[in-house]
Amino acid sequence: MLSPDVLKRLDAIESRFDELTHRLSDPEVVSSGERYRKISKERAGLEATVTALRAYRKLQQDLADNEALLGEKDPELRELAKEELAGLRPLVGPAEEQLKLHLVPKDPNDEKDVILEVRAGAGGDEAGLFAAEVLRMYLRYAERRGWRCEVVDSSPGALNGVKDVTVTIAGDAVYSSLKYESGVHRVQRVPATEAQGRIHTSTVTVAVMPEAEEIDVQINPADLEMDVFRSTGSGGQSVNTTDSAVRLTHKPSGVVVKCQQEKSQLKNRNMAMKMLRAKLFEMELEKQQSARDAARKSQVGTGDRSEKIRTYNFPQDRLTDHRINYTRHNLPAVMDGDVQDVIEACRTHYAAEALREASREQAGAPAAERRA
């Protein structure tokens, strides 16, 4: 059951939505393109919450109406009411959880595109092979979502594996979906190179960074060191006759990025700058997250690269997300990009956690501060 505080906040959102709807019919607002766009944008941001709230109210009314019919003398009416209630009651819990999630503060980076890095970790050639499979998993998932992907840097490994690869992914709310994929992905299986049939454990590290605009991260040109070199392919052979590949070093942080996918040095430099901004932006986000974690003395686990987040156990055909105790089977489908259920489970878990944290903070705030 929704608490009075949650209902009060939802009612306030609905009131604001109705106010904005009314203002959109104001001739003065209509004649002002900028004001109209601003109000329309705010209203659009509230619409899903209001739609869910009104659907919940209708559900509650339907429940009340059918419960009232249980007191009727007509046995057929009572039986119909019982059937209706049997179908309606299971809908209440999910509807309430969905409404609570609508109250979670929005992550300002959720709508951003991302830079995805996949790196082979412990496990030698097998780690490189699994890194290539994890990359394919995300590319196939992106394809299912209609997102655009571009490989901007890669280092081939042995046996068609990869040492590391960097990809840009652009589309609708990419970071919102992929931000919980950062961390260590562990695989347990018998490698193709294993003659004795023994199960090996290897790891792959995934990093998901929101693309940062220049307004997000200011980089002093004096802090940059640029090196150019010839692009190399598998085995180290040169694939270009000019020094088109670019390596940028951010001297204050020590962050190094490189891009060699384009034939144009300028294009490679621009992409390297985009990668560098994303890395520096992510470092700042991690710094802020660490400060919040220290303040509330709890670990949220929303993307620490050193955190073991998931195990792919091939002998048992099982994927386990250790952060949320989530398990599913059918690894062939997972590796082919069928991971929406895993992603949604993570998003729901952390959204609920964020809502609990926000409620705790609100409960601990002084009354005057809460009213503000």
Q: Which one is predicted more confidently, 300 or 310?
A: 310
Are both 17 and 65 inside the same structural domain?
yes
Banded model confidence at residue 290, pLDDT cuts 50, 70, 90 = confident
200/312 same-domain check:
yes
Total residues belonging to the chain:
372
- Helix boundaries (H) for 215-319: 265-296
> Does residue 197 share a domain with residue 62?
no
Beta-carbon count within 10 A of 144 CB: 13
**Any idea which residue has 């949320």 for tokens?**
324
Alpha helices, DSSP H, located in 123-196: 125-145, 174-178
Give the SS3 label for residue 226: strand
Residue 101 scores a pLDDT above 50: yes
Q: 300: pLDDT confidence band, cut at 50, 70 and 90? A: very low
Mean pLDDT of 321-333: 96
Residue type, 164: D
**pLDDT value of position 362:** 60
Looking at residue 296, what is its pLDDT?
A: 43
pTM above 0.85, yes or no: no
User: 300 or 250: whose pLDDT is higher?
Assistant: 250
Please tell me whether residues 77 and 183 are part of one structural domain: no
Does residue 301 register a pLDDT over 70?
no
Q: Which pair of tokens denotes residue 2?
A: 């929704």
Determine the angle formed by the axes of helices 4-23 and 75-102, rounding to 10 degrees. Answer: 80
**Candidate from 4-8, 39-43, 175-179, 212-216 with smallest mean pLDDT:** 212-216
The answer as to whether 300 is a domain residue is: no
For residue 155, is it within any domain? Answer: yes
Q: Which of 102, 121, 139 is the last residue of a domain?
A: 102
Nearest to 334 by CA among 134, 46, 132, 107: 134
Q: Which helix (H) or strand (E) holds 114?
A: strand 114-120
Q: Does some domain include residue 355?
A: no
Asked if residue 333 has pLDDT above 70, the reply is: yes
Stretch 23-40: mean pLDDT, rounded?
91
Domain boundary among 102, 118, 135: 102
Q: What is the mean pLDDT of residues 189-212?
A: 88
Please tell me the distance from the alpha carbon of residue 69 to that of residue 303, in angstroms, as a whole number: 51
Q: Give the chain's domain count.
A: 3
Lowest mean pLDDT among 11-15, 73-77, 262-266, 310-314: 262-266
Mean local confidence (pLDDT), 2-27: 92
Using the predicted structure, report yes or no on whether residue 194 has a pLDDT greater than 80: no
Q: How confident is the model at residue 361 (pLDDT cuts 50, 70, 90)?
A: low
Phi and psi angles of residue 350, each rounded to the nearest 5 degrees, phi first:
-75, -30
d(CA 78, CA 60): 18
Q: Output DSSP code: residue 181.
A: G
CA distance 3 to 100: 10
Most confident listed range (25-34, 95-104, 230-239, 335-344): 335-344
pLDDT at residue 203 in the model: 94
**Looking at the predicted structure, is the pLDDT value of residue 213 above 80?**
no
- Residue 303 is encoded by which pair of tokens? 């993307």
* Same domain for 194 and 134: yes
Looking at every residue in the chain, the average pLDDT score rounds to: 86
Do 23 and 70 lie in one domain? The reply is yes
| Phi and psi angles of residue 134, each rounded to the nearest 5 degrees, phi first | -65, -40
- Residue 111 has a pLDDT of 87
What are 285's two structure tokens?
């986000």
Q: What is the pLDDT of residue 248?
A: 93
Same domain, 114 and 204: yes
Decide: 211 and 113 in contact? Cβ < 8 Å. Answer: yes
Structural domain boundaries enclosing 159: 109-210+307-343
Question: Average pLDDT, stretch 210-232?
Answer: 83
Torsion of CA 257, 259, 265, 270, to 10 degrees: -70
* Other beta carbons within 10 Å of 297: 6
Q: Which residue has the tokens 């621009």?
A: 270
Residue 255 lies in a domain: yes
